[in-house]
Structure 1
Amino acid sequence: MNAIVLMLLGIVAMFLGYAFYSKFIAEKIFKLDPNFRTPAHEFEDGVDFVPTNKFVLWGHHFTSVAGAAPIIGPAIAVIWGWVPAFLWVIFGTIFFAGVHDAGAIWASNRRQGKSIGALTGDVVGTRARTLFMIVIFLVLLMVNAVFATAISGLLINFPSAVVPVWGAIFVALIIGQLIFRKFMGLGAISILGVIALYALIFVGPEVPISLPETVMGVSDNAQWILILFGYAAIASLLPVWVLLQPRDYINGLQLFIGLILVYAAVLISGPEIVAPAINMDTPEGTPSMLPLLFVTIACGAISGFHGLVASGTTSKQIDKETDIRFVGYFGAVGEGSLSLATIIAATAGFATLADWQAVYHSFGQGGVAAFVTGGANILSAGIGLNTDISQTILTVMAVLFAGTTMDTGLRLQRYIFQEWSQIYDIKWMGKALPATLLAVGSCLLLAFGAGGADGSGGLLIWPLFGTTNQLLAGLTLLVITVMLVQRGRPMLYTLAPLMFLLIMTIFALIVQLQSFYLKADWFLFTLDLVILIAAIWIALEAGSTLRRLIKTGSTEQTQE
């Protein structure tokens, strides 16, 4: 099959989903009100609560939720064949992710910008909130620790990406001042920012930068991890308009242009998909596609991390409630487009089936490397870019996605500590600096405590990320569903994806539990069991709340 057909089917389907389904959800289910006073205006502080242009905010949301996961997940999952991965990404984006992301922003927007964890206490109960926030903390811990490892590996393997990756931060600082102080229009700022970023990409291969292999016994991988967390700590303390917003916005534009280049190259070169549609000859040790497909591809179909960003930072920057449709649902479409490009790169970017099988020789292979290699081959064949530049563009895309996720993830982890300080009346922990130090400290403890001097300890609990993340998405949909029932609105459009996710996630947790038991991996076995119990407990609590609300009936609430 030609990759052009797959690309057009996917893009058209997601466009129709945004044009029609998101409009229905926004107007008939969430009933977005342009006159509702959003938390960004009600609690405006110039640091976290800042009314923001919807295009700038879309850039923040899109790049924060994307990370490396919509590349890693699909590029691994095609081992089962491109058809299952493609169908889950397309239908997941339209009916799951878009509703989930927009719904999480709406729910938080209607409750003073509270995070989804804090919201659980309001709409379900304190026991559910406690369990939910533990799950949230684990997800953030995994994301921050592992993405730091992923970024450091890419910077070591592709030293040509160092200049454009770090140069993007300085470009963002300038862009932030220009936007906030309104020195010029957003269009002109956008053009200048994109030109600067792409200029850095072409400079990168000419000035490759590598850290020393060891400094005082610290490996280059560990050095990058320490640098990344130092940067993320500073970024999480700065007002959002200084670095977070402009970095995410300009990265969003640059990354979207990167996607356009990939898709244009596909149109020009028309590569054939060499991977099987459904792989009936998977390598030995490959787990069953059902249910593992639905937790291997999280970001790009639906991801609980999105709910953390949506209710943690995005909801605090919504200018008008009607912006939620564009920022939330279209942000999910942007990520779905990245996953679609990844599927194409990882299945049509190889010359032959044998070349593809050489990469996918065991489960877990592929990932970012398959995306960069396959995508670079397509760019070279389609638009004539040399291999070094093509690889640099795609590596920078992956690193910038992961980096913006780390920025937001550490800020969200700081919010978790601050919310715990309010819940348990620990006043010192409510301040930004101590909360940030606790967030960084917990990540470094996992990275170096479990991983030793190399700093890759986050990989220890990474096998549980997919299931924990999808569990979080299901629980976020639970909160949204309860809020809809409280207002007497139809719950089918959130309840259906919620039930599917909970079933698949609990199924996957049980499958993994058996696997950890057989391997005698008692740490992951215990952690899996704790997460499984938490999932069932929260589901029962929310189910009880839903039954009570349905039985007693609810009336529309116009203001909270």
Structure 2
Amino acid sequence: MITLLGGIVLLIVGYFTYGRYIEKNFSIDPNRKTPAEALKDGYDFVPMSKSKNAIIELLNIAGTGPIFGPIMGALYGPVAYLWIVIGCIFAGGVHDYMVGMISLRNNGAHLPELASKYLGKPVKHVVNIFAMLLLMLVGTVFVTSPANLISSITPDWLTIGVITVLIFVYYLISTVLPIDKAMGKVYPWFGAILIISTIAIGVSLLTGGHALPNLTMNTLQNFHPKGTPIFPALFFTISCGALSGFHATQAPMVSRTSTNEREGRFTFYGMMVSEGIIAMIWAAASMALFDGQTLSQMIDAGTPSAVVNQVSVMLLGNVFGTLAILGVIVLPISSGLSAFRSLRTILADYLHIKQDTLKKILMVTVPLYVISFVLTKVDFNMLWRYFNWANQVTAVIALLVATRYLYLKNKNYIVTLVPGSFILYACVVYILSEPIGFRMGLTTVTYIVGLLLTLGILGVFWKSGVNQKETLSPDSALINDQLPINTSTAK
């Protein structure tokens, strides 16, 4: 109990201290006109209130990540708490804030456009591929996971196939609506369900006499029943609750609806902290209610949705447990919708297809849903592994963009370079060792080769940054946050 409560307290303290420092380091300008005001189009660029922006950001970035990830991360034992707290404060919160604010300074540009501006035009194509791959995988995973959850509380005649089709229909309708209608009206209700259900799980966990595992010197070890090493697997298993590249694809959406830079810390950093709290509660519940072997068997039997179902019913009973499951369901549905919406706009920007008519919107959207529907037939665990790697590679790219941004402005860039370098090393080792990559296994050679490759990538990144800075003029757009209006984005 002490570790759970202490971790939540640290997350909140981190928001008010380190989050404030990150904001100060960025140097906000409350009087600067935002994209929502300068490019208002009634569709994607729409001024909305601070509270609506915050709840949209939370639901966009959450998905099943801060629940499914911590459930699987709980297999490692209390050490999972460390990554959630440290990762959220020093990596995830910084990542989300910097991407959101840099986008806000650049007409609400998406990550590929930002990468092109700060890392070079050739990088834009690589980032576009990773961003679109990630969003497609996210959208598919966030169709599969709620479909499984819904099927667990509905009659047998409502099959997973039917539920999947219904979710796609909802996505299609919502994708073509203006953002203030598709999300601004519905998400506050979704948010209320999520917050109430999460609080109910947390309170029941604390007051129900459950033995909550604490992080001590004796428990600071790997408890995974299959012996899976902590590094790098844990840092891919728990992503959305600590650091997630998917968030870099979502923050620009909200940067297009924000009306003041002062709101950024609450909207971006604050909602990441909220996601960390959600992750702490679900990790604690999984560890408290199940031993590692049982938890592993439940996950292997299908998806972590089975654990969600059991935790909710065991802690809250059948009626309120079902309501809690509904709270979990709204997460992937809302994030899936935002993933496809972001995917549509990124693809449209890349292909220069102006999204100003329903026909053009559907021309981009429908093929994406067809591809995603085919992917729903692929094994969930396989999809999750590919999603995890693409997710963290995207986080690396976003942190390197933020590092270059701060470096060019003579700000403290260490705050983004350190977490970016760490997760880059994890990504390299992961792809070298895993079956989805080079199958080298986790050996000393793998760690050494991974380190050398990481240092090589960082060396190229640093050299290009030095060269870039030497050629800049005082009135350069890279220093003064100026970006020509992207006419394919604004209607």
The TM-score with structure 1 as length reference comes to 0.77
Higher helix share: 1
Residue 405 in structure 1 maps to residue 335 in structure 2: yes
Q: Counterpart of 1:283?
A: 225
Q: Counterpart of 2:275?
A: 335
Q: Structure 1 CA distance, aligned partners of 2:93 and 2:358?
A: 31
Q: Structure 2 CA distance, aligned partners of 1:48 and 1:428?
A: 12
Residue 112 in structure 1 maps to residue 107 in structure 2: yes
User: CA 1:514/1:389 → structure 2, altered by over 3 Å: closer, same or farther?
Assistant: closer
User: Contact 1:414 / 1:436 at 8 angstroms: preserved in 2?
Assistant: no
User: Contact 2:298 / 2:304 at 8 angstroms: preserved in 1?
Assistant: no
Q: Structure 1 CA distance, aligned partners of 2:460 and 2:348?
A: 25
Q: Structure 1 CA distance, aligned partners of 2:348 and 2:379?
A: 25
Q: CA deviation at 1:221?
A: 1.9
Q: Structure 2 CA distance, aligned partners of 1:151 and 1:23?
A: 35
Residue 360 in structure 1 maps to residue 302 in structure 2: no
Q: Counterpart of 2:176?
A: 237
User: CA 1:458/1:369 → structure 2, altered by over 3 Å: closer, same or farther?
Assistant: closer
Q: Structure 2 CA distance, aligned partners of 1:13 and 1:358?
A: 30
Q: Structure 2 CA distance, aligned partners of 1:33 and 1:293?
A: 38
Aligned mate of 1:148, from 143, 149, 166: 143
Q: Secondary structure at the match of 2:261?
A: coil
Identity fraction in percent: 25
Q: Structure 2 CA distance, aligned partners of 1:152 and 1:332?
A: 25
User: CA 1:5/1:405 → structure 2, altered by over 3 Å: closer, same or farther?
Assistant: same
Q: Structure 2 CA distance, aligned partners of 1:156 and 1:500?
A: 39
Q: Structure 2 CA distance, aligned partners of 1:341 and 1:243?
A: 29
Q: Structure 2 CA distance, aligned partners of 1:47 and 1:469?
A: 27
User: Contact 2:106 / 2:481 at 8 angstroms: preserved in 1?
Assistant: no
Q: Secondary structure at the match of 2:346?
A: helix
Unaligned runs of 5+ in 1: 160-208, 213-219, 380-386, 520-533
Q: Structure 1 CA distance, aligned partners of 2:34 and 2:457?
A: 29
Q: Structure 1 CA distance, aligned partners of 2:288 and 2:201?
A: 12
Unaligned runs of 5+ in 2: 442-452, 483-491
Q: CA deviation at 1:274?
A: 6.0
Q: Structure 2 CA distance, aligned partners of 1:87 and 1:293?
A: 11
Residue 42 in structure 1 maps to residue 38 in structure 2: yes
Q: CA deviation at 1:546?
A: 1.8
Q: Render the CA deviation track for 1:467-512: whole Å, top value 9, x for unaligned.
A: 1101101100111111112212110111111111111111111111
The residue correspondences of 1:32-181 to structure 2 (distance < 5 A) are 32-82=28-78, 84-159=79-154
Matched length: 464
Q: Which amino acid aligns with 1:7?
A: L
Q: Counterpart of 1:163?
A: none
User: Contact 2:312 / 2:322 at 8 angstroms: preserved in 1?
Assistant: no
Q: Counterpart of 1:266?
A: 205
Q: Structure 1 CA distance, aligned partners of 2:460 and 2:283?
A: 38
Q: Render the CA deviation track for 1:244-268: whole Å, top value 9, x for unaligned.
A: 1232222223211222222222332
Q: Counterpart of 1:479?
A: 401
CA RMSD of aligned residues (A): 2.8
Q: Counterpart of 2:345?
A: 415
Q: Structure 2 CA distance, aligned partners of 1:253 and 1:141?
A: 27
User: CA 1:514/1:151 → structure 2, altered by over 3 Å: closer, same or farther?
Assistant: closer
Q: Secondary structure at the match of 1:346?
A: helix
User: CA 1:397/1:558 → structure 2, altered by over 3 Å: closer, same or farther?
Assistant: same
User: Contact 2:72 / 2:237 at 8 angstroms: preserved in 1?
Assistant: yes
Q: Counterpart of 1:344?
A: 284
Q: Counterpart of 1:30?
A: 26
The TM-score with structure 2 as length reference comes to 0.87
User: CA 1:484/1:269 → structure 2, altered by over 3 Å: closer, same or farther?
Assistant: same
User: Contact 1:348 / 1:374 at 8 angstroms: preserved in 2?
Assistant: no
The residue correspondences of 1:300-339 to structure 2 (distance < 5 A) are 300-311=241-252, 313-339=253-279
Q: Which amino acid aligns with 1:257?
A: I
Q: Counterpart of 1:376?
A: 313
User: Contact 1:128 / 1:538 at 8 angstroms: preserved in 2?
Assistant: no
Q: Structure 2 CA distance, aligned partners of 1:40 and 1:483?
A: 22
User: CA 1:362/1:211 → structure 2, altered by over 3 Å: closer, same or farther?
Assistant: closer
Q: Secondary structure at the match of 1:55?
A: helix
Q: Render the CA deviation track for 1:443-488: whole Å, top value 9, x for unaligned.
A: 432432x56xxx4467654321111101101100111111112212
Q: Secondary structure at the match of 1:327?
A: helix
Q: CA deviation at 1:326?
A: 0.5
